[in-house]
Structure 1
Amino acid sequence: MKPAIAPQVLRQAAEWLVRLDHGSDADAQTEQQFRAWLAADPQHHEAITRLQGHIAPLQELPARAALRRAQPPRRRASGVKGLALLAVLGLTAAPGYQYWQDGYLLADHSTDSRQWRHEYLADGSQLQLDSSSAVDLDFDSAQRRVRLLEGEILIDVAKDAHRPFYVDTPHGTIRALGTRFIVERIGDATQVSMLESSTRIDSVGRSLTLNPGQRVRFDAQGLGAVSQVDGTALQAAWSAHQLLAHDQSLADVLARVARHRPGLLIFDRQALQALRVTVMLPADDSDRALRLLARTLPIEVKSYSPWITRVSLKRESE
């Protein structure tokens, strides 16, 4: 079996290939940046090579000279066909492949891009999963643990005086001190929104207690600042399958929209991070959600196929 490639590497590969094929041939600086990305990690070249096997239906599409030059000579023959839109891995491979990579198919509970799920756990707790979400459970006589693999969950914790309830992510651990809260993985961070009672969050050697109507984001560097949220509005949005954003970065909003969309939604997180958004979007209609964002923000939404969409800043001349 071939070694797994991290989902973020696959996404980066797709973004590079769309970027290299967007408009005219890439300039020298872009080519140099792409070469540097290829050389930075053996997985980068492996991602390019492996994804080529999933684009046979598009093999007559033209490839860009920049990408041909960036590819090592021994790879050019197989790499020329279809490289312009190699990001269409979503057409044949991305949804299933990412599920395999993140353990979706082996997860205790999971949803795809068009599903919502409500589960009653063995201890009486209730677990709701947003689209494209997955969790593993580890319940024994001493503790109850939920590992959030991907996506967003709303948890209503049943009381148990003998077994604490935890939610684990790569960025820290949340211990339920009460009942109802939302945990979401966004990009390389975790976000917790407290609806009822409180939780204790431990991340990178620091702890804090989160109370009702509060939210905090934490990542590999630790805990961020606590902000205020409308817990009632959050619960209403969840029940109505709406995405509620209040003064949130556009990059984070797009990451949430992407969970509800089959295929790939590609965007430059750094370029869009500064745009702040307060909006309510339909989670079950990602096309409409993107149209609503495009009407009010200086962005353009371009579809390459039903499975690949790119969001970028509008050029100043437009």
Structure 2
Amino acid sequence: MQATAASTATVRPTSCLRPRHLALAAAALAAAYAVVVLQPAINIWLRADYSTNVAETREIRLEDGSVAFLGADSAIEVAYDASRRRVRLLSGQAYFEVRKDSVRPFHVEAGSVDTVDLGTAFDVRRRPEGVSIAVNEGSVAVTSPIASQALARPLVAGDWVNVAWSGTVRRGNDAPELVGGWRSGMLAVKDEAISDVIDEIGRHYHGKIIIISSELRNKRLTGVYDLKKPVDAVHAVAQALGARARQVSPWLLVVSSL
């Protein structure tokens, strides 16, 4: 009888500690997730002077009379002083209509890429692989230490440039009226990578859109898509590529090959 009682006494503490250990492990995992996944978003939120949520756009009148149209899930930091006007695009996309000021140039910084207004309206977008700038009217000068020679020539109306973080530069020219078209809720793309198109649509979708085919990611796309109906837009993208889109849950869309 004594041996049985001793055996029972040694089991009880172990069984009581297990839930506690599991709870501590879960808390540690949650904390690690917050640091790795949420910390960048928290840092942006703390720095931003203006921001938008998923599927929200916003028109902001800056102190000098210039206007910034902030895209969905985007954030900017504004710093004006006596010598220059500076806006940092922390995430997402913004379209600027700049009030001319010969004394204080207007800079938009996105990572290591600096766009200087020369009297214009233009669009700047941060992509996972770099930065895109497109000009609606006027001209801008784009500079970056990672691609200085390729950016020597200013951009004028209709010009666009993609600067990858690797230093690769792509330039082109389209109809100027396509620039900033997302402000009306319609996304017009011409020969863009599907991953970039899905990234843009994804900022209007309350969930996650995943492309599970590496072959699809390398394809390019031309079309017009309704950002107010992101699920329909993803289905239209998939159809145009001969692929399929499946809504696995209300918060998850998967694009895959047929």
**Fold shared per TM-score above 0.5:** yes
CA offset at residue 305 of structure 1? 2.0
CA offset at residue 52 of structure 1? 5.8
More strand by share: 2
**Residues 156-165 or 201-210, more deviating:** 201-210
Distance 1:120 1:273 in 2: 37
Paired residue secondary structure (2:53)? coil
Equivalent of 1:224 in 160, 169, 173: 169
Distance 2:97 2:68 in 1: 7
Q: Does the Cα contact within 8 Å between 2:72 and 2:204 map onto a contact in 1?
A: yes
Q: Does the Cα contact within 8 Å between 1:108 and 1:137 map onto a contact in 2?
A: yes
Match of 2:141 in 1: 200
Residue pairs, 1:112-261, within 5 angstroms = 112-203=53-144, 204=146, 206=148, 207-208=151-152, 209-222=154-167, 224-235=169-180, 237-261=181-205
User: Which ranges of structure 1 fall in alignment gaps of 5 or more residues?
Assistant: 1-48, 55-88
Distance 1:129 1:145 in 2: 15
Q: Kindly provide the amino acid, as one letter, of the partner of residue 211 in structure 1.
A: V
2:238 corresponds to 1:297: no
TM-score normalised over the length of structure 1: 0.65
Structure number with larger C-alpha Rg: 2
Q: Does the Cα contact within 8 Å between 2:120 and 2:135 map onto a contact in 1?
A: no
CA pair 238-100 structure 1, distance change in 2 beyond 3 A: closer
Equivalent of 1:272 in 209, 216, 241: 216
Distance 1:303 1:167 in 2: 37
Distance 1:137 1:202 in 2: 19
Residue pairs, 1:55-74, within 5 angstroms = none
Q: Give a deviation string over 1:241-276, Cα, whole Å, max 9, x none.
A: 111101111111111111111122222585333211
TM-score normalised over the length of structure 2: 0.79
CA pair 50-215 structure 1, distance change in 2 beyond 3 A: farther
Q: Does the Cα contact within 8 Å between 2:162 and 2:170 map onto a contact in 1?
A: yes
CA offset at residue 225 of structure 1? 2.8
Distance 1:269 1:143 in 2: 45
CA pair 98-116 structure 1, distance change in 2 beyond 3 A: farther
Query: What is the aligned-residue identity percentage?
Result: 28
Q: Does the Cα contact within 8 Å between 1:193 and 1:229 map onto a contact in 2?
A: no
Distance 2:256 2:43 in 1: 27
Q: Across the two proteins, how many residue pairs are aligned to each other? A: 226
Q: Does the Cα contact within 8 Å between 1:241 and 1:283 map onto a contact in 2?
A: yes
Q: Does the Cα contact within 8 Å between 1:99 and 1:105 map onto a contact in 2?
A: no
User: Which ranges of structure 2 fall in alignment gaps of 5 or more residues?
Assistant: 1-25
Q: Does the Cα contact within 8 Å between 1:146 and 1:166 map onto a contact in 2?
A: yes
Match of 1:7 in 2: none
Q: Give a deviation string over 1:17-54, Cα, whole Å, max 9, x none.
A: xxxxxxxxxxxxxxxxxxxxxxxxxxxxxxxx889649
Q: Does the Cα contact within 8 Å between 1:266 and 1:310 map onto a contact in 2?
A: yes
CA pair 303-221 structure 1, distance change in 2 beyond 3 A: same
Q: Does the Cα contact within 8 Å between 1:242 and 1:282 map onto a contact in 2?
A: yes
CA offset at residue 239 of structure 1? 4.0
Q: Does the Cα contact within 8 Å between 1:174 and 1:199 map onto a contact in 2?
A: yes
Distance 1:202 1:50 in 2: 45
**Residues 103-112 or 164-173, more deviating:** 103-112
Distance 1:174 1:111 in 2: 22
CA offset at residue 290 of structure 1? 1.0
